[in-house]
Structure 1
Amino acid sequence: MTTGFHLRAISGFGVKGPACFLLEAGGARLILDLGEGPDAGMRPDLAGVGPVDAILISHGHPDHIGALDLAPGLGGPPVHATAPVRALTDDPRLAHAQDLPLCGQVQVAGLAVETGMAGHAPGAVWMRIGGAGGLLYTGDMSAESTLYPCAPPPPAAALVFDASYGAADDPLADQVAHLLALAATRPLLLPAPAGGRGLEMAIAFAAEGLPVSRCPAHRQVAALLLEHPGALVPGGDEALAGMLAGTAALSADSAAVGVMIAAKPNGDAGLAVDLIARFAQTGEAEIVFTGHLAAGKPAAELVASGRARFARWNVHPRLSGLAALAGHVQPRLAMAAFVEPARAADLAAALPDLPLVGAPELRW
């Protein structure tokens, strides 16, 4: 049995920042995610980390993979990721990564790594490393996803978990209802990640009979996911295929009708750039951002100036979900990740029995 675990948050503790954690156990050294952002310019500081045995990727969003170009400074270790993550990337380091199962167990550097689907995004997984006496790392997680499965994780001695929303507990169903009511009054532009909530949105709005159009990036991701039906909830492949058949292609000069869904989520790239510029000037459609408003990117400035609105669509755990997670894992030590100190304090007050640490390190 592996003993003597040490987990250090290189980045991702005390801030909504890039995921990067160093786990040392049994003589092995693993990096868990190597991200960039979401705020502009945020990257992990790997000074002094030294060579590691492997990099394990929880999912393919930039704040978890965007700094993989730093891997040579870690000794150029092998990267492990799930098949959907590898299929959806344009990063050759990730495209040729070693397999991490969606649900199963592998050995990495002599450590047992168990995985299960984590909702949130295509191919996202939680990881238990070192068995019941080891670490449960959630990456980003959402049990409310209607497209990406989320399996309850097993017990572990230590837990590093997605606490992005702090103690907020608004259910996704209420948020969807709010957006549906808004869409009934005027056309909406929803900048969203194609490899995330954007596809869920398209399915949900189309199911309510609203005219929906989606950008080429969303169509591309949907088509690739149809090749990985095991990464979707039961019936998810049929829902995706139906959405593709029943929604329109979106372009920069499309008429402002119904619900328009375009990458990318902060309006700094993709088709969303052109459509935001157009609608912010003409008022043909209301611009609604539904995720983290990253500092230094257009979304935050547009909302602050009143030219767009914010209405959350949950892709991270709400409070009741975190309580359920703690019940499944039953950790002796827990670290709240991807959350600012004030929200972390709210979470600690709301879950007083969760053994949260106030420092970026765990030893057990």
Structure 2
Amino acid sequence: MSVTIEILSGLGAKGPAAIVVEAQGKRLLLDAGGALHPDDTITWANNLDVDAVLISHDHIDHIGGVAELAENVPLYCTPLVAKALPHNRPWHPLPERGTLEVEGITVTTGQAGHSLGGVWLHLAVGNGVLYSGDACFESSVFPFDTPPKAAIALLDASYGSYDQPQAYCVQAISERLDQPLAFPVPETGRALEMALWLAKEADRRQLTLAIDPVIRDNLAALLALPATLRRPGLDHSIRSLLARQNACPPTLQLMCDRSDTPEQWPDHHLLHTGYLTPDRRAELAAGQISWQRWNVHLRASHLVALADQLGATQVVPLFTPFSDNALSAWHGLLGERLCTAQRLYAPSRLVTRSSLGSFACPQ
């Protein structure tokens, strides 16, 4: 039997992630993304019939649609990601790094470098299918593991052809720390590495700092994991930050993103570092907020390097618009490997799994 992949959502736009892989008579759903904007609805789950669902990480556009699925559909995620599931939703544990059988299909997971508890998913069907979820090589906190070979690569392309290194982003934010700033951030993602960086900068510049209690709790959760699930050399910095008292009032405030508006922070200027909703884009255009990216997704050269390492013959850039200019850029980057079809097919020959290692990230 052949392998069929149907991208229900997440192709040709920044949107909810939902991908069905059908193989060996079973249908597995990779991620169950919810709407990015409060007024939007999702349609990918309508009349959906799957045998199991695997969740890569806990951000809303990857897990927010779980409530649309029947509770009797087996759901797999890592224990930290399970905290974001609807109350009392049954689930089965995915390893943070390892293998298991799901409906007779061998699934390998590894660290994706994006968020607490987040993993990529490799399915040993056809000549291998790799779904990166959201992924990044550049995190100072979360490692990125080398996946097994895969002929089909479904990769995080949220940044399109953007290719600025993280050092550039950090420097650009550093140059703005001469004013009271508030940083709304996803609590399990960049929040952790930004907390450690801001603590270091605050000490160096003699600035006051406050870190959201939820972010502190997530740093403690990171510290409680096996040491191999975080970058080396962090433990002392994490413990020091957890022991640090929040300043009141602080010059720098790192808080969980709760749809904050400039009016809620009259004594601080809001500096966003990731995806902007339409309302926030309007605030940016009006000069009410600022924006500077902090890299948490694969930039273009890293996506190509990952596709090369996988030996992929079909590469699907996910979560990115496909304008004419964008498609031209992707053709230049990926050549004949570029695939933009909603439905893909592959032969059923099984791949041989390779052991996990640490990916040599290009700079």
Residue in structure 1 matched with residue 253 of structure 2 by the alignment: 260
1:128 equivalent in alignment to 2:122 = yes
| Structure 2, gaps ≥5 residues long | 347-363
Shift of 1:334: 1.6
1:306 equivalent in alignment to 2:287 = yes
- Aligned equivalent of 2:59, options 46, 58, 61: 61
1:131–1:156 CA contact under 8 A, matched in 2: no
Residue in structure 2 matched with residue 362 of structure 1 by the alignment: 344
Amino acid paired to 1:294: T
**1:352–1:334 distance in 2 versus 1, CA, 3 Å:** closer
**SS of 1:146 mapped into structure 2:** coil
**1:238–1:84 distance in 2 versus 1, CA, 3 Å:** farther
1:315 equivalent in alignment to 2:296 = yes
1:180 equivalent in alignment to 2:174 = yes
Residue in structure 1 matched with residue 151 of structure 2 by the alignment: 157
The number of equivalent residue pairs is 339
1:237-278 Cα shifts (integer Å, max 9, x gaps): 4332222223516xxxx42x33211111xx52xxx45xx323
Residue in structure 2 matched with residue 49 of structure 1 by the alignment: 48
Residue in structure 1 matched with residue 87 of structure 2 by the alignment: 92
RMSD: 2.0
**SS of 2:160 mapped into structure 1:** coil
Amino acid paired to 1:10: L
Shift of 1:180: 0.9
Residue in structure 1 matched with residue 104 of structure 2 by the alignment: 110
**1:34–1:277 distance in 2 versus 1, CA, 3 Å:** same
| Structure 1, gaps ≥5 residues long | none
Q: Sequence identity of aligned pairs in percent?
A: 33
Deviates more, 1:341-350 or 1:236-245: 341-350
Residue in structure 1 matched with residue 79 of structure 2 by the alignment: 83
Residue in structure 1 matched with residue 270 of structure 2 by the alignment: 287
Instruction: Give TM-score scaled by structure 1 length.
Output: 0.87
- Give the Cα separation in 1 of the matches to 2:326 and 2:116: 27
2:99–2:107 CA contact under 8 A, matched in 1: yes
- Give the Cα separation in 2 of the matches to 1:346 and 1:38: 27
Shift of 1:294: 2.0
- Give the Cα separation in 1 of the matches to 2:23 and 2:87: 29
**1:348–1:21 distance in 2 versus 1, CA, 3 Å:** same
Shift of 1:129: 0.3
**SS of 1:323 mapped into structure 2:** helix
- Which of the two has greater helix per residue? 1
**1:127–1:93 distance in 2 versus 1, CA, 3 Å:** farther
1:17–1:38 CA contact under 8 A, matched in 2: yes
1:149-190 Cα shifts (integer Å, max 9, x gaps): 11122211111110000110011111111111110x211111
1:167–1:346 CA contact under 8 A, matched in 2: no
Shift of 1:38: 2.0
Amino acid paired to 2:61: D
2:67–2:86 CA contact under 8 A, matched in 1: no
1:122–1:196 CA contact under 8 A, matched in 2: yes
